Structure 1
Amino acid sequence: MPCHAHFSGVTVGVHRSTDFLCVLVALIRTQAERTQRMKIQWKFADGTTSEVEVNEEIGNYITASRREESNLARKERYHCYSLDAIDYEGPEYATDTTPETDLIREEDAARINTALDKLSETQKRRLLMLADGLSVNEIARIEDVAPNAAWKSIEGAKKKFKKHF
């Protein structure tokens, strides 16, 4: 059996079986009619912008959120240092060495020296010249030997070095 209720200047028909639902729908419609609308600029994922009409509550929330995000970005920009600034500002911000990297570098140097000590003087000299960027032919010319002999000596040095490294 229908009855009528009066809410905020609007008369609403209420059915006894669905009293709550009918009143709720009527209230929502009434609120929507009274709510102010506002337009905001909305930037989409593809980069386009559009003016979107939303109710005032949502518009105020979006505006406040954008303001808060902007303030936070400004605060971080002025009070934080980027590690990328090292490239531009110099080493006063940081150094590329740490106690761990120093220890690893020392251990590697010790292993390299131990492996080099296992080589003959000729093999060591030729392998170091190769590491400096000289070709096998240039090493052979400097050592006054055949290129094949220099190559065999260097290959033997590489195998021995790998074995002891």
Structure 2
Amino acid sequence: MSIKGQTEQQQAEAQLAVGYYTELFKPPLEPKKLPPPAKLPPVPQPVLAQRVPGAKEESVSGAWQIVADKLKEQILLRHYSPQTLKSYSIWMWKLSRFLENKSPETVTTSDVQRFLADLAVRQQVSASAQNQAFHALLFLFRYVFKRDLGDLRDTPRARFQLASFPFRD
């Protein structure tokens, strides 16, 4: 026995604990470097199966690209997630293709209503997909076009498919 009635093993353990403590709380030699901030994915570009060459189409596609850039700017301004940017951009480009690259300045409420109806009736998308498209286009009209989307109450709605869920007796 030695200091304060401790055995040699207890003294060795105490010395080891003090060593761990000093190593743990020793100031770092260099300041920690933070990883670079995550970059948002680029705005998806339209994928057109067939392109008819012509000056008008190029200028209209260019106009939609400007809309895509403004959409990205508005989403970043409101701190929406990168996934929201991606999905809203995809719905914007799908609307553009549905309208056969109609100029963005001339898109009307009835164009959006026809697009949402086409999703529900012809394409038979899920209710959640149609809702996502609706909210993407609502955002587009409010914050990018700075126009009211209008009344869409008469738009056909996609149905919730109960048959896709297995139920037990």
Into which bin does the TM-score normalised by the smaller protein fall? 0.3 to 0.5
Identify the structure with the greater helix proportion. Answer: 1
Q: Hey, which of these two has a bigger chunk of strand by percent?
A: 1
Which structure has the larger Rg? 1
